[in-house]
Amino acid sequence: MATYTGNADWKTAATRHVEAAGTRFAYRRVGPDTGVPVLLLNHWGANLDNFDPRIVEGLAADRPVYALDYRGIGVSGGTAPLSVAEMANDTIAAIGALGLKSVDLIGFSLGGFVAQQILFDAPDLVRRAILAGTGPAGGTGIERVGPVSWPLIIKGLFTFRDPKFYLFFTSSSNGRQAAKAFLARLKERTSDRDKPVSLKAFLCQLKAIKAWGRQAPQPLDTIRTPVLVANGDHDIMVPSENSADLARRIPGAELVLYPDAGHGGIFQYHHTFLPKAKAFLVA
């Protein structure tokens, strides 16, 4: 087992590796040795450097926090899977290889799809789950993430902006300010940054997202894990109505929709999402 120093500084957290499911997965870990570990599962095209430092460090103030690169992403080995189910299998295997017996999950966007699948495949492994900026299998508009995103990705290239500026935030003054602040936070780490996500892996993940959007609905009413659902009220990538649908179909789930916020609502409202998430996970 690796030893840790209890450091909650996401900027300097070492990139480590764990062997699982025939693959060498990259991960970072911050926080103390005590408490239920939180595992962060990130979005389409995201590597370890795309987790919001304010959320990671806030969670790590009093519990271990792990962030994982999917297969084929960043410095993880292998080829990016074409299905959410494969990504969930990989994650379950990595959790086991890390020696974790019970975890809390925070899944954002694609990570929320993966988290849902884990709730079905390994329910005893997950104590509590937060599903942010995400939706159910077969959810409204999920298969159209690509057609919705490509024009804004191209706009980002032409305007020399990270596409998340347009994809994750509204075009209001508040949305634009939040976008700039979020993207600045992602640049705080200056050394030992993760390997950029390849176009091949990016397209593989998009196929997995499209397949999830076309998949038959899952029996969300059978989930017994406590779930918090969070999103902005103007999510154009995974339409916000999917968050309401999740909260309605998962027994006892709580829904938080942030005003004048898009797909990245939890980043725009990190100052209120963080205490809400911590209170939910402590309960």
Tens digit of pLDDT for each residue in 6-55? 577 999 999 999 999 999 999 999 999 999 999 999 999 999 999 999 99
Q: Which residue is it, tokens 């509590």? A: 128
Could you give the strand order of the β-sheet that contains 103-108, starting from the edge strand earlier in sequence? Answer: 15-20, 23-30, 65-68, 38-41, 103-108, 126-132, 227-232, 254-258
Residue 6 is predicted with a pLDDT of 59
Whole-number Å distance between alpha carbons of 165 and 182: 9
Domain boundaries, the chain: 10-282
Burial environment of residue 255 by CB neighbours within 10 A (0 to 12, 13 to 18, 19 or more): middle
Cα dihedral 154, 41, 71, 15 in deg (nearest 10): 100
Ordered per-residue pLDDT tens for the chain, 283 residues: 444 555 779 999 999 999 999 999 999 999 999 999 999 999 999 999 999 999 999 999 999 999 999 999 999 999 999 999 999 999 999 999 999 999 999 999 999 999 999 999 999 999 999 999 999 999 999 999 999 999 999 999 999 999 999 999 999 999 999 999 999 999 999 999 999 999 999 999 999 999 999 999 999 999 999 999 999 999 999 999 999 999 999 999 999 999 999 999 999 999 999 999 999 999 7
Partners of 17 in the β-ladder: 26
φ, ψ (nearest 5 deg) of residue 157: -65, -45
Residue 3's Cβ-side half-sphere holds a number of Cα atoms within 13 Å equal to 1
User: DSSP 3-state assignment of 258?
Assistant: strand
Residue 1 is predicted with a pLDDT of 42
User: For residues 188-227, b (16+ Cβ closer than 10 Å) or e, as one string?
Assistant: ebeeeebeebeeebeebbbebbbbbbebeebebeebebbb
Whole-number Å distance between alpha carbons of 153 and 243: 24
Residue 50 is predicted with a pLDDT of 97
Whole-number Å distance between alpha carbons of 106 and 203: 23
Return the CATH class of domain 10-282: alpha beta
